């Protein structure tokens, strides 16, 4: 009797493959009789490395081809970094599960300096994230922020070649690639509020595949699911894409959830922050309330200015 086959769509980057192996191992621990086949895909975002994400459409460029593979029945599920998954999902698809979150914070990597505070005036920092950029400039307007694209290994290689004094990357990506030793400073959320969903892996499938939805629901980590859906509700209320400076970070503990949100101007001149604490079953209402508070306090003007510039 043939084993049942489960086809997993994944990006070809080393981090994406590591994340897929992690999910594969979890699936096989529950369903050892499955025959898992990987469907590696190079996305549009992987091919364009000479432009910042904010200028080419945001992180959604990393998932479109994976979603097409699901819609065209070339794969059964797709594995995503949750920070790359847009808040609006194609209607034929759904988010089946979110695995237990790793470290959601940003990290500084430098060969010569131990922290952001130790960086000298005029130091060149590599990042293509407007979220990281605006928070960094607010704290250290004397630093020079320079675009940085490519996979994690490529970015670190550019640092080692002396093109940057330091770079900022997601901590959990470094952990998964066994590059924890390169971390100079894990940046507190108070200095760099994480991106929505950062540090977690999501599993996407077709909405009508009820059997797959049922057995993969066992991989869902409920606390992580609640936290990240709260963050996504905040971003969804803002109608915010990945190409704007926005952060959202939720922590669930003892049935209470603490949500922090941020919207900033790319130049760091304006940073709007807020937070909510309440019972987890009111998380979506909290996210809606916080997002609207920031919109009323100036975030709407920031977002309108960014979108106008992108259209021009």
How much of the chain is in helix, strand and coil states, percent to nearest 5?
40, 25, 35
Nearest residue to 146 via CA among 274, 233, 132 = 132
In the chain, DSSP assigns E strands to 5-11, 35-41, 77-81, 93-98, 106-109, 124-126, 144-146, 166-170, 185-187, 201-206, 246-253, 256-264, 271-279
Catalytic hit among 84, 106, 165, 296: 84
DSSP element (H, E) containing 22 = helix 14-30
Task: Check if 84 is active-site.
Answer: yes
Cα Rg of the chain, angstroms: 19
Residue 110, CA atoms < 13 Å, CB-side half-sphere? 22
- Between CA 265 and CA 133 the distance in angstroms is 10
- 3-class secondary structure per residue, 94-138: EEEEECCCCCCCEEEECCCCCCCCCCCCCCEEECCCHHHHHHHHH
Catalytically active residues are: 84
């Amino acid at each position: 009797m043939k084993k049942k086959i489960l086809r997993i769509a994944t990006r070809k980057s080393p981090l994406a493959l590591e994340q897929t192996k992690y999910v594969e191992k979890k699936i096989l621990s529950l369903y050892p009789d499955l025959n898992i086949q990987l469907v590696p895909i190079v996305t549009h975002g992987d091919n364009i490395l000479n432009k910042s994400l904010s200028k080419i459409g945001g992180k959604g460029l990393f998932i479109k081809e994976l979603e097409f593979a699901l819609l065209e029945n070339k794969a059964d599920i797709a594995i995503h970094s949750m920070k790359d998954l847009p808040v609006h999902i194609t209607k034929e698809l759904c988010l089946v599960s979110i695995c237990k979150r790793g470290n959601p914070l940003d990290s500084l990597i430098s060969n010569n300096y131990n922290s952001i505070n130790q960086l000298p005036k005029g130091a060149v920092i590599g990042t293509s994230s407007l979220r990281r950029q605006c928070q960094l400039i607010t704290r250290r307007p004397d630093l020079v922020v320079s675009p940085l694209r490519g996979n994690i290994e490529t970015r670190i290689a550019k640092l080692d070649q002396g093109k940057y004094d330091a770079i900022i990357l997601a901590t959990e990506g470094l952990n998964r690639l066994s590059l924890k030793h390169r971390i100079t400073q894990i940046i507190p959320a108070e200095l760099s509020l994480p991106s929505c969903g950062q540090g977690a892996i999501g599993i996407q499938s077709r909405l009508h595949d009820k059997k797959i939805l049922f057995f993969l629901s066992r991989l869902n980590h409920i606390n992580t699911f609640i936290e990240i859906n709260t963050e996504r509700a905040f971003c969804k209320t803002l109608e915010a894409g990945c190409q704007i400076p926005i952060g959202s970070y939720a922590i669930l503990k003892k049935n209470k959830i603490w949500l922090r949100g941020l919207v900033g101007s790319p130049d760091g001149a304006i940073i709007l922050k807020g937070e909510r604490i309440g019972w987890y079953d009111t998380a979506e209402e909290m996210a809606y309330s916080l997002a609207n508070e920031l919109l009323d306090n100036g975030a709407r003007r920031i977002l309108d200015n960014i979108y106008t510039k992108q259209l021009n």
